[in-house]
Chains A and B, each alone.
Chain A
Amino acid sequence: MKTGKNIHMSLVIVISLLFMCNQSYAQAKQTESELDKRVNDFLKKQSSM
C-alpha cells in the first residue's frame, strides 16, 4: 500500500515538473519571438529611412 502511494506521489511530482518545464520553454520561446519582432521592425524602419 505504502509503495503504491509512493509511486503515485512520484508520478505527480514528475508530471508537475514536466508541466513547469513546458511552461518555461513556451515562455522563453514567446519572449524570443517578441525580441525578434522588435529587432526586425527596427531594422525595417532603418532600411526605409
Chain B
Amino acid sequence: MNVPATDGKLLYDIIMENKYKSAVEIGTSTGHSSIWIAWALSKTGGKLITFEIDERRYKEALANFEKAGLSNFIDARLGDAHELVTRLNEPIDFVFSDADKDWYTNYFKALDPQLVVGGCFTAHNIEMSGARNFYNYISKLPNYKTMVDNRGAGMSISYKTEK
C-alpha cells in the first residue's frame, strides 16, 4: 500500500530542512515512499538505500524508480532487512522504517550506532500494535527527541540529540 501523500511530503520536508544525504528505508514495497525520499535526496546530493524482501514488489519498485527518473539516487536491495540492516556500517542521516511493525525496535537498535547526532529515525503506522511498543521504547530514550505526526497514517519522528 502506498504511503499517503501527506506522509510522503513529510519525509521530503524532513530531508530537505536538515539537508540529509544518507538515507535508509526499511520496506521499499512498490517504492512510493522511496520516491519521496529520493526526490529530496536528489536536491541535497544524497542517496537512499532501501530494503525489500518480496521479489515482485522489489521489481515493481525498480520500474517505478525508472519511471520517476530517480534510479540514480536509489540503491534498492532485495533481501531480509532483519539481517541486511546489521551489515550497514556507514554513517546514516535518516531512516524510514515501514516494514514489520513488531521488529521496529530491533531495526532501531541495529541502526542507532550508525545514525549521526542530528540524524532522524522515522517509523510509519505508529498507532499499530507492534509499532506502539517501539514508540514507547524510543520516546523514553534521553538522547532522542520524539514527536508524532498524525496528519497521514501516523509517523513517529525521532531526532538524535546526543550519542
On A, residues with C-beta under 8 Å from B are: 32, 34-36, 38-39, 42-43, 46-47
A-B contact pairs, 27 of them (CB 8 A): A32-B42, A32-B43, A34-B69, A35-B39, A35-B42, A35-B69, A35-B70, A36-B39, A38-B68, A38-B69, A39-B35, A39-B39, A39-B68, A39-B69, A39-B70, A42-B35, A42-B64, A42-B67, A42-B68, A42-B69, A43-B5, A43-B8, A43-B35, A43-B68, A46-B2, A46-B32, A47-B5
Residue with the highest number of chain A CB atoms closer than 10 Å, among B5, B8, B35, B69: B69
Per DSSP, are chain A's interface residues mostly helix, strand or loop, or mixed?
helix
Interface size for chain B: under 10, 10 to 19, 20 to 34, or 35 or more residues? Answer: 10 to 19
On B, residues with C-beta under 8 Å from A are: 2, 5, 8, 32, 35, 39, 42-43, 64, 67-70
If A35-B70, A42-B68 are given as contacts, then 8 extra A-B residue pairs at C-beta distance below 8 Å, sorted by A number, are A34-B69, A35-B39, A35-B42, A39-B39, A39-B70, A42-B35, A42-B64, A43-B8
Instruction: Determine the distance from Cα of A1 to Cα of B8 in the docked complex, in whole angstroms.
Output: 64
Closest to B42 in A: A35
Closest to A45 in B: B67
State how many angstroms separate the Cβ of A27 from the closest Cβ of chain B: 16
State how many angstroms separate the Cβ of A7 from the closest Cβ of chain B: 38
Instruction: Determine the distance from Cα of A22 to Cα of B112 in the docked complex, in whole angstroms.
Output: 42
